[in-house]
Amino acid sequence: IEGDIRDPRIVVHIGRTCALDAIVHLAARAGVRPSIRDPALYADVNLGGTSRILELVRQFGVRRFIFASSSSVYGERRKVPFREIDPVDHPVSPYAATKKGGELLCHAYHHLYQADVTCLRFFTVYGPRQRPEMAIHKFIRLISEGEPVPMYGDGTARRDFTYIDDIVDGILRALDRASGYAIFNLGNNRMISVAEAIDAIGAALGKTARIERLPAQPGDVSTTCADISHSERELGYRPHTPFEEGIRKAVAWYKDPD
């Protein structure tokens, strides 16, 4: 069924025509920089749309709900790795604020209606079929085509890049094992700088990247890194894809997407 999660008619239609054991809610407006350009749209989709899906949970008695949150809720912080019990009260972009708001909505519905609700904080997901504007896909395309690669800041910003297969594994484990209201980090527990990521992509492509240095962007954070000990203990989550291997797989898909 294709539709807009803000449309109550579609949401009710799903509830009436589908036998729902669980909902994995991945639909959102994503991206830090676009959220700064259009914060109202992000609030409308990520908060208003999530409210519609949570109403589906209430109206049709869905017992298990998985919400895709984001590492962006941690904001700008130097202390790593990030733990689920760390305070997340200072988002630095509208996108991050909507994901924190989504977690709060999830808790309210768990408290009121006793559904099992799990919030999964994804850390910089990449891999085959990634959206083309996201960094890894964009860098692969630009380096492959010999175009300059934009580097915002000095390239030392670090990210906990997580391969898509490991994220999917974490989602399935949460469906099987999580209960009550819970928050889990899904990351790789390894920091890679933007400069290192560009070098790894160039190596996988057998090309040297041409760098276009640009000022740091508002809303970007300097570091992300997931403490995954809680996810390991409760879900049995263990990422299996090293960054370099994930990049090789992403490049292979880019060259032959079929």
Query: What is the average pLDDT score of the chain?
Result: 95
Q: What is the pLDDT of residue 254?
A: 95
Q: Distance between CA 131 and CA 86 in Å, rounded?
A: 29
- Predicted confidence at residue 218, as pLDDT, reads 84
Based on DSSP, count helices (H) and strands (E) in the chain, helices before strands.
10, 10
Q: What is the mean pLDDT of residues 201-227?
A: 91
- Rounded distance, CA 88 to CA 77, Å? 10
Q: pLDDT-derived band of residue 257, with 50, 70 and 90 as boundaries?
A: confident
pLDDT tens sequence across 81-134: 999 999 999 999 999 999 999 999 999 999 999 999 999 999 999 999 999 989
Specify whether the CB–CB gap between 96 and 72 falls below 8 A. Answer: yes
- Catalytically annotated residue among 95, 109, 181, 237: 95
Model pLDDT, residue 78: 82
Which pLDDT band holds residue 163 (cuts at 50, 70, 90)?
A: very high
pLDDT at 255 over 80: yes
Task: Tell me what percent of the residues of the chain surpass a pLDDT of 70.
Answer: 100
pTM: 0.95
What is the reported pLDDT for 220?
A: 85
113 included as an active-site residue: no
* pLDDT score, position 109: 96
Contacts for 219 with CB less than 8 Å, ≥ 6 apart: 32, 33, 35, 36, 92, 93, 95, 96
Q: CA 238, CA 57: separation in Å to the nearest integer?
A: 29
Q: How far apart are CA 116 and CA 170, in angstroms?
A: 16
Within its chain, how far is the Cα of 239 from the centroid?
15
